[in-house]
């Protein structure tokens, strides 16, 4: 495991290149978002997605999965965003929102059978640049592990120490503020439902 120190205000493109190559090869990383730190992998790499699900003890057949995209044009390849949904998300993204949207056939096998996907475009330039340079979304889920107290999951040093044998890279962008994204179900865009 390797820790890379980088901040959203000063992105190191050499680090981004290293991370993108690792993601293409199936790596699992810990990256900052505009909320908490997240496990992340190439959303189109089934083995990497399964590895993240094992780390987080997620059953992808039952647990909703989320993707991080660089922008709405990338998101529209993997989630169906009709005109009503577009009007809602356009005004709030990038930002601290997860929108539940219908999936498209662009997502890999592990997403098959699911009718919806969580979509994030975080207000964090590192996360967006990784998705942009990768050329497709990252599958993400908030960092947690057995026995961790919440504060440990907000501190990159604690994350790196606890997960040194489980992930390939940790991006240290400073301590997280611990905020959560709002979750809005837009599967029926005429009737949005705020879940959190």
Query: Mean pLDDT by 10-residue block, N- to C-terminus, for the chain (196 residues)?
Result: 95 98 98 97 94 91 91 94 96 96 84 85 98 97 91 95 97 95 96 94
- Neighbour-count burial of 8, counting CB atoms closer than 10 A to its CB (0-12 exposed, 13-18 middle, 19+ buried): middle
The number of C-alpha atoms within 13 Å of 37 and in the hemisphere containing its C-beta is 28
Both tokens assigned to 100: 């539940």
**97 vs 105: CA distance, rounded Å:** 23
Q: State the DSSP code for 137.
A: P
**114 vs 93: CA distance, rounded Å:** 24
CATH C-level class of 2-194: alpha beta
**112 vs 61: CA distance, rounded Å:** 9
Q: Taking phi first (over 0 means left), then psi (-120 to 50 degrees means alpha), and beta for anything else, what does residue 178 get?
A: left
pLDDT at 50: 92
Query: Tokens 């820790």 label which residue?
Result: 3
Say what the pTM is: 0.94
The number of C-alpha atoms within 13 Å of 2 and in the hemisphere containing its C-beta is 7
Q: Are 48 and 41 in contact (CB under 8 A)?
A: yes
């Amino acid at each position: 495991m390797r820790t890379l120190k980088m901040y959203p205000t000063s992105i190191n493109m050499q680090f981004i290149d290293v991370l993108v190559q690792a993601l293409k090869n199936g790596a699992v990383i810990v990256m900052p978002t505009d909320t908490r730190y997240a496990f992340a992998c190439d959303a189109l790499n089934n083995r990497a997605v399964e590895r993240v699900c094992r780390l987080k003890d997620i059953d992808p057949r039952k647990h909703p999965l989320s993707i991080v995209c660089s922008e709405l044009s990338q998101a529209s390849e993997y989630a169906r965003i009709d005109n009503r949904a577009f009007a809602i998300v356009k005004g709030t993204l990038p930002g601290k929102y997860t929108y539940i949207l219908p999936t498209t056939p662009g997502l890999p096998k592990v997403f098959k059978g699911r009718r919806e996907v969580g979509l994030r475009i975080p207000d964090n330039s590192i996360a967006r640049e990784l998705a942009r340079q990768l050329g497709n979304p990252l599958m993400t889920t908030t960092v947690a592990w057995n026995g961790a107290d919440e504060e440990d999951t907000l501190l990159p040093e604690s994350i790196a120490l606890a997960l040194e044998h489980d992930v390939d890279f940790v991006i240290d962008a400073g301590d997280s503020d611990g905020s959560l994204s709002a979750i809005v179900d837009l599967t029926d865009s005429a009737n949005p439902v705020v879940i959190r």
